[in-house]
Amino acid sequence: KTCSIVAVHGLNGDATCSWTNESPSGASTMWLRDLLPYKLPNARVMSFGYNASVIGNTSVAGVRENARRLLSLLRDKREEEEEEEDEVRSHSRGSIVFVGHSLGGIVIKQALRIANNESSSFADIAENITGLVFFGTPHRGADAATWASLVAGITTTAFGRSPKSVFLRTLKPNSRDLMDISEDFRPLSTKYANVSFVESDVLSGLRRVVVERYSAVMELAHEEAVIISGNHSTMCKFARDDPRFDTVWKAIKRVSHSPLQIQKPRSPESEMAREPQGQGRRLPDQYTDQAYAPLLVGVKRTEQWLLQRAVRQPSGGFVVASFEA
């Protein structure tokens, strides 16, 4: 069965760098593009970009606006593919898995509220979502806002600009926005399989983890909580030989089925200790980074970049949906 995998980055992130590991040797691995399509060759992997900067951000678009834009782009892409050719139609009506880092998980939950309760135009999406994977998502708020302010403070010292973002208020512990989103999400949660990854390492400068387990885990019926090594930033960035990626891609595969179809997973300890069973083939680095505009960029199954250059890909391919309000 085919599957659409949609990744949503967090605060101060973007559609590519948030998922990219930079090794000391200079090698760059964007695992959504370079690794995952070879583990799940029938999946179409997408990354949604939006303006989540905390410096010089004059956008008034918050969680709700970006969640609706995410749904609109995903709906349009699925309809577009359905019209192109019968072979792609299976992708359009296949299952959907959302992958969110930090604030991205909150955007995803808001999108599920809209798709299920507010708009019939997203009914196809609501009906086909099977699973959710969260990396350090502060469901009850956390120091993600403090961390962003810390990073922004360095920039403020250098450039005289203060942190500004509508998201900083949302991420405060037990904010009204977070409480409302979680309250509406809970009755929907039984429809989805869910893996919540919890960071293990402190972030330099804060001397503590950004999102504590209390906030990163919702204690839901179909939720699997897994501690993953790394701090709030590095927990979702994987090199080719990183054993953590083995745990992550298998989690994504599990949640691509409905909760009732999921088999009991191995323990997190045994999965974390497993070595990768081979390295994925790297896709060429012919890719346009951070194109913040209301557009959809990616690879067709005809093996042609919609934006530029030809490149061979697995049957699904990689797509970037970028948006800046």
**Angle made by CA atoms 32, 237, 265, in degrees to the nearest 5:** 75
> What's the pTM value of the predicted model, to 2 decimals?
0.78
Token pair, residue 30, equals 């964007």
What phi, psi does 239 have (nearest 5°)? -85, 175
Q: How confident is the model at residue 200 (pLDDT cuts 50, 70, 90)?
A: very high
Task: Give the largest Cα separation in the chain, rounded.
Answer: 56
**Residue 273: helix, strand or coil by DSSP?**
helix
Question: Are 11 and 102 a contacting pair, CB within 8 Å?
Answer: yes
**HEC per residue, 54-99:** CECCCCCCCHHHHHHHHHHHHHHHHHHHHHHCHHHHHHHCCEEEEE
Least confident stretch, 114-118, 183-187, 284-288:
284-288
pLDDT in tens, 261-288: 654 444 444 343 333 333 333 333 332 3
Q: Name residue 11's amino acid.
A: L
Q: Which domain holds residue 218?
A: 3-322
Instruction: Number of helices (H) and strands (E) in the chain: give both, helices first.
Output: 12, 10
Q: What local confidence, expressed as pLDDT, does residue 35 receive?
A: 95
For the chain, the straight-line distance linking the first and the last C-alpha, in angstroms and rounded, comes to: 35
Structure confidence at residue 247 (pLDDT): 97
pLDDT on residue 279: 36
Task: Residue 258: count other Cβ atoms within 10 Å of its Cβ.
Answer: 15
- Minimal CA–CA distance to 69: which of 310, 294, 243? 294
Tokens of 234: 């590095």
Report the amino acid identity of residue 32.
Answer: L
- List the structure tokens of 174: 């037990």
Instruction: Give the pLDDT confidence of 213-255 residue by residue, as tens digits.
Output: 999 999 988 899 999 999 999 999 999 999 999 999 999 999 9
* CATH code, domain carrying 312: 3.40.50.1820
CA dihedral 207, 212, 216, 218 (to 10 degrees): -170
Q: How confident is the model at residue 198 (pLDDT cuts 50, 70, 90)?
A: very high
Rounded to an integer, what distance in angstroms lies between the CA atom of residue 140 and that of residue 171? 8
Whole-angstrom Cα distance, residue 125 to residue 72? 10
Give the phi and the psi of residue 93 in degrees, each rounded to 5: -105, 10
Most confident of 7-21, 203-217, 290-304: 7-21
Total domains in the chain come to: 1
Rounded average pLDDT over 181-199? 93
Residues 6+ apart with CB under 8 A from 59: 51, 166, 324, 325
Residue 112: pLDDT band with limits 50, 70, 90 = very high
Whole-number Å distance between alpha carbons of 196 and 251: 10
Q: How confident is the model at residue 160 (pLDDT cuts 50, 70, 90)?
A: low
* pLDDT tens, position by position, 23-38: 998 899 999 999 999 9
